[in-house]
Structure 1
C-alpha cells in the first residue's frame, strides 16, 4: 500500500501544471469600455433612432403638412349609347396645410425625442461601463482564485509527499498519509473549479470586448475619487444620465401634448383644378379653378388623441419620479459600498499576513513533530481562504472606486 500511495502523490504532482504565470498587462478600463462601446449593438440601434428623429424634425419644417394629392376625372357619352361628343377631362392637385402652430409643435416633438435618444446613448454607455466593470472584476477574482488554489495545491502536495515518505519509512501512521493525500486531492479539485470559473469569466468578458483581454482595474483608487468634480450626492444625482433621459422624456411628452392640442381637427387642403371638355356643337373649352377641403373638428377623433397624449405625459412624469428615487438610493449604496470596501481591504490585508505566517509556522512545527498534520493542513487552508478574501477585497475596493467615478459621470 505504501508504494502505491507514493506513486499516486508523484503522479498527481506531475499531472497539475503551473497556472500562476505572470499575465500581460491588460488595457485600461477606459480603453476596455471603448472597445465594448465600438461593438455594442444597442449603440447602433440608438444612433439610428437619433438620426430618424432628426430627420423627422427636419421634415417638419416643410411648408405643408403632407405630400400633394393628385386627382383626375374623365367622362364622355359613349357608354350611354350616344356619340354626340360630350367629353370632359378634369385634373387637380392639392396640398394639406398646417394648422396654427402645428408645424412648430411637430418640430419640437421630434427635437425632444432626438434629445431623449442622446441621453439614452449616455445611459447605455454608463450601463455598458458597469457591465465591463463587473465582468472585469469577475475575471480578476477568478484569476486570483486560480493563483490561490495553485498555491494551496503546491503546499498540500509538498506536505503529502513528505507524509508519504514518512509513512514509507515507518515514521508516520498511514492514516496521516491518507489525510495528506485527501487534502491534496481536495486542493486539486479546487484548482480545477477555479480554472473553470476563470475560463467562463474570461469568455464572458471577451464577448463584451470583442477580443481576449482583462482590463487593469488596479490603477484606479481613492485618489481618483477624491479629485472627482461631482462628489456631493445632489450633483451625482443631477448628472446621472438616467435622470436626464427621464427628464427628456417628460419634455417630449409635454411637446406631444402641445402638438395634440394644435391638431384639433384634420388638416385642411387647398389646390387647383383644370378642366378640358368638349360639348356638342361647341368648340373645346378649358377652365381653371381652386378647390379646398376643410374637415370639421370631431370629438370622436380628438378625444383618443388627447387621451393618448395625457397618458404619455403621466407615464413620463411617473418614470422621472421613479428614476430620481432609484438613482438617489443607488448613489447612497455606491458611497456605502466604497466605505465598506475600504475597511474590508485594510482588515483582510492584516489577516492575510497573520494567517500566512501561522500556516508556515504550523508546517514547520509539523515537520519537527511539534504539532499534528491536521492542524498544519487546517492552517494552510485557512491561509488560502484568507488570501482569497483579501484579493477579492482588493479588487472590490478598486471596483467600488471606479463605480463611484461612474456615478459622478466620469469613465476613468
Structure 2
C-alpha cells in the first residue's frame, strides 16, 4: 500500500516519545562544579543578617572590655562659688569650692559586669551559627527548586519537539486520507498542551533561578546530587542518632539562659548605688579671716533602697524565666524538626522506590498500547493518553529523586556537617 512509508514514520515518532521517557535524566547537566559547601561559604559572606550579628558581637566585646575598668563610670567634678555682692551685707565675702570624685565598684560587681558582657558575646556567636544553619536550609531549598525546574524544562522541551514532529506526520496522513480528522484534533490538543508545559517550565526556572541568585549572589548551581546513601555512609551519619544538643538553636537558647543568669548575679551585686570617693578644696575670701583655704576628703555612700533593688532583681528574674522558657521551647521545636528530617528521608526514599516502579509500569503499559496502535487495535488518542501518563510519572520521578537528595543533604545540615 502507498501509505506504508508514512505509517512507519508515524510509528517511529510515537516510539520516540516512549523512548524519551525511558531515557535517564542526564545528571551531568545538573551537577555543577560548585560544591554545596562552597556555595554556603559564598552565600554566608553576603548574608545581611550575618553583617548585623557581627556588629552586635563587636559591640558585646567592646562592652566586655569597657566593663573591665577601674571604675564603673567616669569621675565627677563639682564647682561652687558663693558671694555676698548680689544680696547680703556686701562685706566682700566670697567662697570658691571644688571637688573631684570617682565612683567605686561594689564587691563583685565589676566581675559580674564582665561576665554578662562575655555571655552576650557568646550568645551572639551562637546566633551566628543559627543564621548560618538557616541560610544553609534556604540555599538547599532554592537549589532543589532549580534542579527540579531544569529537569522539568528539559523534559518539556523533549516532549514538545517530539510531539511537533508527530503532529506534522499526522497532518500529512490526514491530508492523504490515511488518518481520520479526529487524530489531527487529538494531536493538535496534545501539541498545545506540550507548548503550555514548556512555557510553564520556563517560568518556573526563571523564578527559581532568581531566588537562588539572590541567596548565592551569582548564577551558579550548587551540586546537591552527590548527597545520597553513599555520602551518609562515608560521613558515618545515622539519622536516628541526631540529638537536639548539637543544634545551634538549642545552644543559642542555652547561652541566652547563661546570659540571664549572669544578669541575675549582677543585679544581686548591684544592691545599692555606687559609692563615690574624692577630694575637695574650699577657699574663702573674707576680711580678717585666718582660714582662707581648706582641703579634705569626701565620701558619698548612697544607702540601699527596696524601691531600687526590688524592681532590679524582679526584672532580672523575669528575664531569666523567659530565657529558660525559650530554651525549653527551642528544644521541643528542634526535637520535632529532627523527627521531621528523619521522617522526610524515610518517606523520600520510599517514594523514590515506588515512583521508579510506577514509571517502569507505565512505560510498559505505554509500550503495550503502542503495539496495539500499530496493529490498529487502539486509537491514537489512547496511545497519546498512555504516553501522557508515562510522562507525568517521569515528572514525579524527577521530583522524588530531587526531594531525596534534598532530604539527605538536610540530614547533613541537621548533624552540623554542612554549615
TM-score of the aligned structures, taking structure 2 as reference length: 0.88
CA distance in 2, matches of 1:190, 1:161: 19
CA distance in 2, matches of 1:295, 1:230: 61
Match of 1:301 among 288, 308, 315: 308
Match of 1:288 among 292, 295, 304: 295
Q: Where in structure 2 are the equivalents of 1:47-126 lying within 5 Å?
A: 47-80=54-87, 83-126=90-133
Question: Residues 230, 268 of structure 1: CA spacing in aligned structure 2 closer, same or farther, 3 A cutoff?
Answer: farther
CA distance in 1, matches of 2:141, 2:395: 18
Is contact 1:160-1:181 (8 Å) kept?
yes
Partner of 2:211: 204
Partner of 1:156: 163
CA distance in 1, matches of 2:318, 2:235: 40
How many Å apart are 1:363 and its aligned residue?
4.3
How many Å apart are 1:362 and its aligned residue?
3.8
Match of 1:130 among 127, 137, 141: 137
Alignment deviations for residues 203-251 of structure 1 (CA, whole Å, 9 cap, x no partner): 0000001111221111121222224366375653211111111111111
Moved more, 123-132 or 186-195: 186-195
Moved more, 277-286 or 326-335: 277-286
CA distance in 2, matches of 1:394, 1:24: 14
**Secondary structure of the residue that 1:78 maps to in structure 2?**
coil
CA distance in 1, matches of 2:241, 2:356: 34
CA distance in 2, matches of 1:273, 1:364: 111
Q: Which blocks of at least 5 consecutive residues in structure 2 are unaligned? A: 1-25
Q: Does 1:338 align with 2:345?
A: yes
TM-score of the aligned structures, taking structure 1 as reference length: 0.90
Question: Residues 229, 107 of structure 1: CA spacing in aligned structure 2 closer, same or farther, 3 A cutoff?
Answer: farther
**Secondary structure of the residue that 1:79 maps to in structure 2?**
coil
Moved more, 373-382 or 84-93: 84-93
**Secondary structure of the residue that 2:235 maps to in structure 1?**
coil
How many Å apart are 1:368 and its aligned residue?
5.4
Match of 2:333 among 323, 326, 342: 326
Moved more, 197-206 or 89-98: 89-98
Partner of 2:264: 257
Partner of 2:12: none
How many Å apart are 1:364 and its aligned residue?
5.7
Match of 2:178 among 163, 171, 174: 171
Match of 1:380 among 384, 387, 396: 387
How many Å apart are 1:80 and its aligned residue?
2.1
Q: Which blocks of at least 5 consecutive residues in structure 1 are unaligned? A: 1-19
**Secondary structure of the residue that 2:418 maps to in structure 1?**
coil
Is contact 2:60-2:121 (8 Å) kept?
yes
CA distance in 2, matches of 1:399, 1:406: 10
How many Å apart are 1:303 and its aligned residue?
1.8
How many Å apart are 1:387 and its aligned residue?
0.9
CA distance in 1, matches of 2:348, 2:31: 26
**Secondary structure of the residue that 1:80 maps to in structure 2?**
coil
**Secondary structure of the residue that 1:311 maps to in structure 2?**
helix
RMSD: 2.2
CA distance in 2, matches of 1:361, 1:218: 33
Match of 1:267 among 274, 284, 288: 274
Is contact 2:274-2:301 (8 Å) kept?
yes
* 4+ residue runs over 6 A deviation: none
Q: Does 1:409 align with 2:416?
A: yes
**Secondary structure of the residue that 2:384 maps to in structure 1?**
helix
**Secondary structure of the residue that 1:270 maps to in structure 2?**
strand
Match of 2:401 among 394, 398, 405: 394
